[in-house]
Amino acid sequence: MRGILVIIFLFFCSCATVPLDQSLEFKTPIDSSVKSHRGILGIDEFIDLRPQASTSDDKKWMGFIPGVLWLIIISETPDTYTGFSAYNSAPFPKAFAYAIYKNIEQNRLFERTLFLTRDRYEKIDYRLEGILNRTYLKETGYYYGSGFYAWITRIIGLPYVSYEFSMDVTLRLRSMDTNEIVWTYELKGNGKDKFNSVYRLTTGKEGKHILSYNISKIFEEQVPAVLESLRKTLEKY
């Protein structure tokens, strides 16, 4: 009887989740010696050109090894669905734009930076536009045993899910005086996360959801080069 109670307790503990940060915000080194460019920059919600594939159609049982069963789920729109851990973020066209806005504001690239979703009718000198070409998430979930025995292996924390992800975003700066696009940049990145036990999935990384954490890391790695390229272009104006 005591053993059954312990199993029930562990079962419910394994289902417990904690609120995780699902934002895509990130930080990059700030160079205080760089002078802000004159004028006001507005950053708009990105245009979404991603393939709108149905995730449910991509579920496939990939094979069977005695005692191990795995399921691969491929999602082109991970902001609307992930197979193995709940993810209810703001839609990526808005979340990506807001993350870029916060970082440009922190780096004081312009005298003033506005998020146009919030400040729609403010007068601006430049507008940073984004085209969300692709976000890709491949989740592989491993199951050990079957039925109730699969739950037991999850409870004791055996490897559960691995991730592969990539993103492709086009950034462009438009001069509002001439309506001319004066700068473009292809921001691309990818990454992998090795097997996570069910407990690591529920606790995330540094308080962030696994997916948010890894996408933020791509931004953290790529955006310094983006800002440097943008600064060099702005020196001409």
Q: pLDDT per position in the chain (237 positions), as tens?
A: 555 544 554 444 445 556 889 999 999 998 888 899 999 999 999 999 998 765 554 455 555 556 677 788 888 889 987 877 778 888 999 999 999 999 999 999 999 999 998 888 889 999 999 999 999 999 888 777 666 666 677 777 777 788 999 999 999 999 999 999 999 999 999 999 987 777 788 888 999 999 999 999 999 999 999 999 999 999 988
- Tell me, yes or no, whether 18 lies in a domain: no
Token reading at 119: 């400040």
- Tell me, yes or no, whether 15 lies in a domain: no
- Give residue 91's domain range: 34-234
Helix axes 210-234, 92-106, angle to 10 degrees: 50
- Tell me, yes or no, whether 11 lies in a domain: no
Dist CA 75 CA 89 (whole Å): 15
Q: Please provide the distance, in angstroms rounded to a whole number, between the alpha carbons at the two ends of the chain.
A: 77
- Tell me, yes or no, whether 6 lies in a domain: no
- Tell me, yes or no, whether 165 lies in a domain: yes
Max CA separation in the chain (angstroms): 78
User: Residue 215 in contact with residue 193, Cβ under 8 Å?
Assistant: no
**Alpha carbon separation from 209 to 67, 99, 141 (Å, rounded):** 29, 15, 17
- Tell me, yes or no, whether 76 lies in a domain: yes
Dist CA 49 CA 40 (whole Å): 27
- Tell me, yes or no, whether 121 lies in a domain: yes
Counting Cβ atoms within 10 Å, is residue 113 exposed (0-12), middle (13-18) or buried (19+)?
buried
Find the CATH number of the domain harbouring 85.
3.40.50
Buried b (16+ CB within 10 A) or exposed e, 20-59: bbbbbbbebeeeeeeeebebbbbbbbbebebeeeebeeee
User: Residue 116 in contact with residue 44, Cβ under 8 Å?
Assistant: yes
Q: How many domains does the chain have?
A: 1
- Tell me, yes or no, whether 146 lies in a domain: yes
